[in-house]
Amino acid sequence: MSTDAIVILKDDHKEIRKLFRDFKSQGPNATKTKGKIVDQIIEALTVHTYIENECMYPEIRKRVPDLEDDILESYEEHHVADVLVVELAALKPDSERFDAKTTVLIENVEHHIEEEEDEWFPKVREALGRKDLQEIGEEMLRLKEKAPRRPSQPSALKKTVDAILK
């Protein structure tokens, strides 16, 4: 497994996109299956946004100040995703708004991933050397081990509250 921070995040993105495709491929009556897939999406996004908010974004803010606006926008995009994830976690899969809310989450996260991969990551890679990206990646992997898996866990709630209050 690579310890390059960008490679780690892109691997997460691949996993998240696969879950999105799995959800979209289900028929309208696949309520139980959709519920299981959304549980996996919630866990993947909770872990992913945690390691970005706790490590990647603060490190890039310190090391590449020119990307401050990109980082602030990413925090806001995470905030929107966090709110939707919290709401989805409280919904039953047979709720009339479950599919619609999941679709909005997917659209928002896909936009965020595209911006990161197409615009932000190339700038980060250009500004930082291999050693810096590996240092950041190693810390992200450590954080991933203890990252919250559900939005109701205290460290995930703190991240959501910080996004609202800061």
Burial class (CB in 10 A: 0-12, 13-18, 19+), 92: exposed
**88-109, pLDDT tens digit by residue?**
999 999 999 999 999 999 999 9
The stretch 123-137 carries a mean pLDDT of: 96
In this prediction, residue 158 carries a pLDDT of: 56
Query: Chain centroid to CA 33: how far?
Result: 22
User: Is 1 a residue whose pLDDT tops 70?
Assistant: no
User: Is 2 a residue whose pLDDT tops 70?
Assistant: yes
With H, G, I as helix, E, B as strand and everything else as coil, classify residue 87: helix
Which stretches of 25-129 are DSSP H helices? 31-51, 57-63, 68-90, 98-115, 121-127
**37-83, pLDDT tens digit by residue?**
999 999 999 999 999 999 999 999 999 999 999 999 998 898 899 88
User: Is 123 a residue whose pLDDT tops 80?
Assistant: yes
pLDDT, the chain, mean:
91
| Confidence band for 16, pLDDT divided at 50, 70 and 90 | very high
pTM: 0.90
User: Is 33 a residue whose pLDDT tops 60?
Assistant: yes
The stretch 98-126 carries a mean pLDDT of: 96
Task: Name the more confident of 138 and 148.
Answer: 138
Query: Chain centroid to CA 77: how far?
Result: 9
User: Is 10 a residue whose pLDDT tops 90?
Assistant: yes
Tokens found for residue 54:
């706790």
In this prediction, residue 130 carries a pLDDT of: 93
- Angle (nearest 5°) at CA 25 between 87 and 17: 65
The stretch 115-120 carries a mean pLDDT of: 94
In this prediction, residue 154 carries a pLDDT of: 57
